[in-house]
Chains A and B, each alone.
Chain A
Amino acid sequence: MSHFDIERPIVKLPEQQPEQQIPDEELVWTDEEQERIEERKSKYPDPKSAIMDLLWMAQEKYGYLPPEAIRLCANTLDMDYARAYGVATFYTQYYKEEKGKFVLDVCTCFSCQMMGGYDILHYLEEKLGIHKGETTDDGMFTVEEVECLGCCGSAPMMQVTNGPYVHNLTKDKVDTLLDDLKDGKMPPFVSVTLPQDEDEMGGNRRSDVEATETYQTPPRSEAVK
């Protein structure tokens, strides 16, 4: 079975004249957002440099970035739409199309690959009945295969909608995660304990986090070659 779909384009180009998804009256910033924009603009010598922050804000507001949302960001910073569009399409974390309520980014980069990242990805695909890159019919879940998320010691792992990391995945853990998400419960922030801290301090050094985990390798039955 092929792990990779190299035929699929990396960036889906919009149609020639995409229909506007967000009505004009919603394409405005609230006062609070306006304040945040001014604050971010003031951090850079060139206010246009705040475009990445604005795109993040727009994505949080609308869920994804249709052309009109990108245009709003561009207009706010008085820059060309083409330039803002160029930025939005360069970075993979900006969603150019509508996604599910929860986006499950499964890391399969080499450490995760070795520890069973593809097992997890295929299990999710099978369980949700979709391929990677697709969204379930009820609009709840999108499954994606992503590059290294910088958590190689607790592989395999995934990230939920550009937010919390879920470490040391097993099939059971995926089941629990999906059930929790269906109940609207996002996974908590998990602090992964350093092995030397375990030895020298008897556990995680942070007292202000609820959830901690250790770096571990998955049970052999879970791992794949």
Chain B
Amino acid sequence: MELTNGATKAGDWRNYERVLLPPIRDLHKLEVYENEANGYNRLRDVLENDDWTPESVTNEVKTSNLRGRGGAGFPTGLKWSFMPEPDDRPRYLACNADESEPGTFKDRQIMEYNPHLMFEGILIAGYAMQLDACYVYIRGEYADWIRHMEAQLQKAYDKGYVGDNIMGTDFSMDIVLHKGAGAYICGEETSLMESLEGKRGYPRYKPPFPAQKGLWASPTTINNVETLAHAPLIIENGGEWFANTGAEAHPGPILYGISGHVNRPGVYEYPTGMLITDLIDEVAQGVIDDKGIKAVVPGGCSVPPLRGDGIDGVTMDSESLQEAGSMLGTGGMLILDEDTDMVSYLRRVTHFYQHESCGQCTPCREGTGWLERIVTRIDEGEGNMRDLDLLLDLCDQMEGRTICAFADAAAWPVRNTVKRFREDFEAKCKPSVHPTGADLSAAGATAA
């Protein structure tokens, strides 16, 4: 897609008014949320207005084309419609607040600054799918924010917004906060369910899919915090509004987490489809010391990094990023300046995956360890040129051969960093030597 003159799919983003985190003082307090942000009125509307049925709420979300903000980008309305007809089993929602993808720090902003929006979203989703309870899985490191949310949730219970017979209707739903204890893999939906059930966080085989057999063998849907926080806004402003905000293929407001070598890192709310260059140069006020950009990781550690010379015209939505050879992921951007050593970057990334692999499937458990050891070898100057091909071969052996997508997520950055920044790796490898002793790196040393 041709984009000129700073025009973006995000439209007039400089005058964008925030909706997920609107500028209202003390918005996290229930009374402020009620009085100044139309709080819980969207839920009231859904429960009391006969125009809203579970089907019509789901359809509105389908119209909005909201796509999951947790990383995979699956259409949320479609996911909701996978839930089977109610039977005698209880039905659950699991809210994924595990947020442990490196480079991602956006969900915490909602939990801290606008928790009731998330609760309201949970309840609207609960009405749409006729659920009995929602379990919010929050990573254990967020202990301070869990306490903060517990206090706010209690206020919502006291006010009758959560619990039995919400707002005097026959709709009842509980929200339970569950504290994790430090495992990246528990952000994977089936692993999250295992952990909620009080087990080791080993991902499950699919099928059966969570909608058929999820938490405690009951129908379950898993949504990210930000995804659920969009639900009240879609009910209030309509699916069309949402679908017309930002990039068409991946619409809506989104929280961008910008970190790394920029002058003003942080979480920013803008529509999807922002030019990466706008986000770096204007929103984050440029790279530190006006250096050049070596690489941009657009959506958390698991997505392939883009070369700094290839980001012109690329926008932050699934379509444009896929064309550029990456993914939107969680929208957590890491910017690396021209002096960054990509081998050392990849070494840290592979270390992360080695540490966080749950160890259930052999290709992942062993593969992540091998990836780290080979990259470490290269980083320390002990690597050979053929190690680069060995890395790529190892990625082939891991991708698609495990129960969950962790091994793929570990392989993608390796494959693409080696491919796109090969010169960094070659510079650190020992020169190739032919068995006869000929120096193959010398000029003209072809097919001697």
B347 and A4: CB pair below 8 A? Answer: yes
Docked CA distance A68–B406 (Å)? 34
The residue among A6, A46, A113 with the most chain B CB atoms within 10 A of its own CB is: A113
B182 and A111: CB pair below 8 A? Answer: no
A217 on the interface (CB 8 Å rule)? yes
**B17: shortest Cβ distance to chain A, in Å?**
9
B207 on the interface (CB 8 Å rule)? no
B99 and A150: CB pair below 8 A? Answer: yes
B108 and A150: CB pair below 8 A? Answer: yes
B109 on the interface (CB 8 Å rule)? yes
A4 and B351: CB pair below 8 A? Answer: yes
- How many chain B residues touch A (CB < 8 A): the figure is 83
A93 and B261: CB pair below 8 A? Answer: no
Docked CA distance A50–B100 (Å)? 22
Docked CA distance A41–B346 (Å)? 43
From B68-76, B190-198, B271-279, give the one contacting chain A. B190-198
A72 on the interface (CB 8 Å rule)? no
- How many chain A residues touch B (CB < 8 A): the figure is 66
| A residues 127-156 touching B (CB-CB < 8 Å) | 146-155
B60 on the interface (CB 8 Å rule)? no
Given contacts A114-B336, A194-B113, contact A153 B105 (CB under 8 A): yes
Identify B143's interface contact among A3, A53, A83, A162, CB under 8 A: A162
Docked CA distance A191–B26 (Å)? 12
A87 and B265: CB pair below 8 A? Answer: no
A216 and B334: CB pair below 8 A? Answer: no
Complex contacts, B113 vs chain A, CB 8 Å: 194, 205-206
**B387: shortest Cβ distance to chain A, in Å?**
16
| B residues 349-401 touching A (CB-CB < 8 Å) | 349, 351-352, 354-356, 358, 369, 372-373, 376, 380
B25 and A6: CB pair below 8 A? Answer: no
Chain A 175-211 interface 0/1 with B at a Cβ cutoff of 8 Å (1 = within) = 0000000000000010110111100110001111000
Docked CA distance A138–B102 (Å)? 34
Complex contacts, A153 vs chain B, CB 8 Å: 105, 257-259, 265-267
B334 and A111: CB pair below 8 A? Answer: yes
A52 on the interface (CB 8 Å rule)? yes
A111 and B260: CB pair below 8 A? Answer: yes
The residue among A83, A153, A206 with the most chain B CB atoms within 10 A of its own CB is: A153
Docked CA distance A189–B145 (Å)? 9
Docked CA distance A113–B182 (Å)? 19
Given contacts A110-B345, A225-B341, contact A195 B264 (CB under 8 A): yes
Given contacts A86-B200, A194-B109, contact A217 B263 (CB under 8 A): yes
Complex contacts, B24 vs chain A, CB 8 Å: 205
Complex contacts, B261 vs chain A, CB 8 Å: 114-115, 217
A165 on the interface (CB 8 Å rule)? yes
Complex contacts, A91 vs chain B, CB 8 Å: 140, 180-183, 201
Docked CA distance A55–B200 (Å)? 13
A49 on the interface (CB 8 Å rule)? yes
Identify B334's interface contact among A48, A50, A56, A114, CB under 8 A: A114
Interface SS majority for chain B: mixed
Complex contacts, A149 vs chain B, CB 8 Å: 141
| A residues 80-132 touching B (CB-CB < 8 Å) | 83, 86-87, 90-94, 108-111, 113-115
**A96: shortest Cβ distance to chain B, in Å?**
12
A43 on the interface (CB 8 Å rule)? yes
A215 on the interface (CB 8 Å rule)? yes
Complex contacts, B182 vs chain A, CB 8 Å: 91-94, 146
Complex contacts, A163 vs chain B, CB 8 Å: 143-144
B376 and A152: CB pair below 8 A? Answer: no
B181 and A51: CB pair below 8 A? Answer: no
Docked CA distance A196–B17 (Å)? 10
**B371: shortest Cβ distance to chain A, in Å?**
11
Complex contacts, A16 vs chain B, CB 8 Å: none
Docked CA distance A152–B256 (Å)? 12
Docked CA distance A154–B260 (Å)? 9
Given contacts A201-B23, A205-B26, contact A147 B260 (CB under 8 A): no
Docked CA distance A220–B337 (Å)? 13
- The closest CB in chain B to the CB of A46 belongs to B216
Given contacts A110-B103, A152-B257, A162-B141, contact A206 B26 (CB under 8 A): yes
Complex contacts, B372 vs chain A, CB 8 Å: 4, 6
Docked CA distance A182–B326 (Å)? 47
B332 on the interface (CB 8 Å rule)? yes
A10 on the interface (CB 8 Å rule)? yes
**A196: shortest Cβ distance to chain B, in Å?**
6
Complex contacts, B144 vs chain A, CB 8 Å: 163-165, 189
A23 on the interface (CB 8 Å rule)? no
Docked CA distance A201–B27 (Å)? 13
A159 on the interface (CB 8 Å rule)? yes
Docked CA distance A83–B347 (Å)? 34
Docked CA distance A2–B349 (Å)? 15
- Residues of B bordering A, CB below 8 Å: 18, 21, 23-29, 90, 99-105, 108-109, 112-113, 139-144, 174, 176, 178-184, 195-201, 216, 257-269, 288-289, 297, 301, 332, 334, 336, 339-341, 344-345, 347-349, 351-352, 354-356, 358, 369, 372-373, 376, 380
A86-B199, A215-B266 provided; 14 other pairs, C-beta below 8 A? A4-B376, A44-B176, A87-B200, A91-B140, A92-B183, A109-B301, A110-B348, A115-B260, A147-B184, A152-B103, A152-B260, A192-B266, A196-B23, A196-B269
What are 17 pairs between A and B in contact, CB < 8 Å?
Answer: A3-B348, A4-B372, A6-B369, A6-B372, A46-B198, A52-B181, A108-B348, A110-B349, A147-B102, A150-B100, A150-B104, A153-B259, A165-B144, A197-B21, A206-B112, A206-B113, A225-B344
Which 7 A-B pairs have CB atoms at the shortest separation, nearest pair first? A91-B181, A93-B182, A152-B259, A215-B266, A148-B102, A49-B198, A92-B182
